[in-house]
Structure 1
Amino acid sequence: MTQRFIDNWNAATVAPLSASGGGVIEDLAPPERLAEITDLLGRDEFYMELTLAAVGGGVETAWEIVRVFGDGTLQRGVNSQPLDWPTGTRIAARFTAAAATAAATSPRGVVRVEENLLVVDEQGITWRWEPDSDTCTLQMQAFSFLDRPQRAYDTDIELDCSWAPQVLNIDVAGAWAFLLPDGATAERPEQSPYIVTLPGETTYRLRLRGSPWAATIEIVDIGQYYYP
């Protein structure tokens, strides 16, 4: 999942939060302030971390980190201890040490993502992609072979085609080989992007491997995996 951030957001809780009760997202802030958070979490794989703080004598004396998910659920006590919080408790969006460590150590992977465009580099990532139309584009970011000659693709993408067949335009350099599921086709008219047509009503896993100039894409119906 992907963490999102917002600058200088703070509010006061509008209902008490119990250490054992979990709570709901509506308890955290007035609707207009909460909307500033939820508007950034329009997809299930996004989340944001908010910090609850108790203040005594002008000094913060206790803390709890709460994770807010795109589906409106909460996770209490993230890298902290769940506590009881009264109505009016200070809550703010802060950049935590855990978030800083994750940002510093994770691969760059995704360069750009839009509803129907996913741009990735050659570093290893795993990404779930849910385009909102029946045509989308996967673009592998171009780079100089002289700059990074040793890097190779190591990328897994879950492409949700559960609602309709999907035409996937794959914009890459070099010659790529495909392993396709039943009913899928791939073509490349006159060195333009590859055009892969996938049957709908399922989710596919795309496994990209190899060098940018000679890679393979294995596309598998996730429903075909066997879990003994």
Structure 2
Amino acid sequence: MTLTETFFNTDVLWASLPILMRGLVNTLVLGLLAILFGVSCGLLISVVRLYAPKPLRLLTVAYIDVFRAMPVLVVLILVYYALPFVGIRFSAWTSAVLSFSLVMAAYSAEVFRSGIESVPAGQFEAAAALGVPFPVALWKVVLPQAIRIVIPPTTSNCVSMFKDTALASTVALPELLKEAQDAQALHANPTPLIGAAIIYLVFLLPLVRLVGILEVRFRKEKTR
């Protein structure tokens, strides 16, 4: 067989397309849920790390360090395969969303922390001088500025999260790569894997370029 017939077989690709699209939907849903929960929890964790009493700050530091140091695959395996031994059992979907969210929250917490610390401390002092309570100053003055700062690295983390969803095949969750592997086995041809790679490029490449554009724009704004 030629290279084209083996890796770029259009007949196999078209026959596999419905399966790949089903996997793409699962990948998008899984990634979006993990990003939604992870970024939201990451923001809360960063605020606790910066402004909570010391014992809580130490707990958040431990959480961030552990989940940033631990491979996503290990977290996924622990949640899906190890927790049942202590009586906690989750479905494949719940395990995947929980695992990815835990990791995303750890990375997002560090991003938000650096963003909040980049806002001049004088913002809090000015708010206090005007009689604005600390929580209100944080929510309405500091966080809007910090969120603008963290958009580029958060977008980059989102790209990484969508790629990491391929690990969900470990718990037999039918995401894009898992469906491509099943289609490859069905047709005895690796073309579905090439199709999956093309699909990843189509929806992730614009996000990658968006990260670059946002970084350039933010750099220009800082130099003004």
Q: Same fold (TM over 0.5)?
A: no
Which structure shows the higher strand fraction? 1
- Measured against the shorter chain, the TM-score band is under 0.3
TM-score (norm: length of structure 1): 0.25
Higher relative contact order (CA 8 A, sep 6+): 2
Which structure shows the higher helix fraction? 2
TM-score (norm: length of structure 2): 0.25
